[in-house]
Amino acid sequence: MYRMQRISVVLGLILVAVQPALATPVAIDAQHSTLTVAVYKQGLFAAFADNHVIDAPIASGSYDDTQKAITLTVDATQMRVLDPKSPANRRADVQSNMDGPQVLDVNTYRTIEFRSTAVTGADAAHLTVSGNLTLHGQTHPITFTAVRADATHFSGSATVNQSAFGITPIRIAGGAVTVKDAVTVTFRIVLGA
């Protein structure tokens, strides 16, 4: 009997010690996480234009498994046009357009933020995430799916319509080439220890 009580006390102490750690949000490992934006072209002369791949490094964020809450911040001034097949001068032009007042306007809107309002799923590995995205000074709800590979690794993608956030997709050559309104955001999130 005494041994059972002792085991119960030890288990109780372990649960008390572990419980606060589970309730604490875990920081996103920004150095090992990636967020990439794919921008596509359309129009009569779209074959002569480029799609774009943009690195959007995560500045900070957290995941709280107990509360099912996700926060994420991107420093818009650190976003970079990758486009490895394009010449450097063309990448520089795309970067300038993206940073400028027509698109992200990074001098006015320096951060992009996401805060979840609900994280649900049929199982622990497949999640549906709903929340509010703040981009270009406007906040609107979005929903996307994520796959949880293990306790610290998540991946997925979301579609964001630029026009919903007050961004008019760029048009060139009199509209013969335009950027599609919908951009695809792909992410791989690693949580810190």
For residue 52, being part of any structural domain is answered with yes
**175: containing domain:** 25-190
Q: What are phi and psi of 79, to 5 degrees?
A: -70, 140
Q: Tell me, yes or no, whether 7 lies in a domain.
A: no
Q: What is the CATH number of the domain that holds 150?
A: 2.40.128.110
Instruction: Compute the mean pLDDT over every residue in the chain, rounded to the nearest whole number.
Output: 82
The separation between CA 185 and the C-alpha centre of its own chain, rounded to angstroms, equals 7
For residue 47, tell me if it sits in a domain.
Answer: yes
Rounded CA gap, 61 and 110, in Å? 16
CA distances from 19 to 8, 62, 120, 176, 192 (A): 16, 18, 22, 59, 18
- Structurally, how many domains does the chain consist of? 1
Query: Phi and psi for 68 in degrees, rounded to 5?
Result: 55, 55
Residue 2 lies in a domain: no
Q: Are 48 and 177 in contact (CB under 8 A)?
A: yes
Instruction: Give the rounded percent of residues in the chain with a pLDDT score beyond 90.
Output: 56
pLDDT score of 176 more than 90: no
Assess if residue 13 is contained within a domain: no
Closest CA to 38 of 58, 49, 53, 50: 53
pLDDT at 16: 39
Burial label for 188, CB within 10 Å (0-12, 13-18, 19+), is: middle
Given pLDDT bands bounded at 50, 70 and 90, which one contains residue 40?
confident
Question: Rounded to whole angstroms, how far apart are CA atoms 74 and 113?
Answer: 6
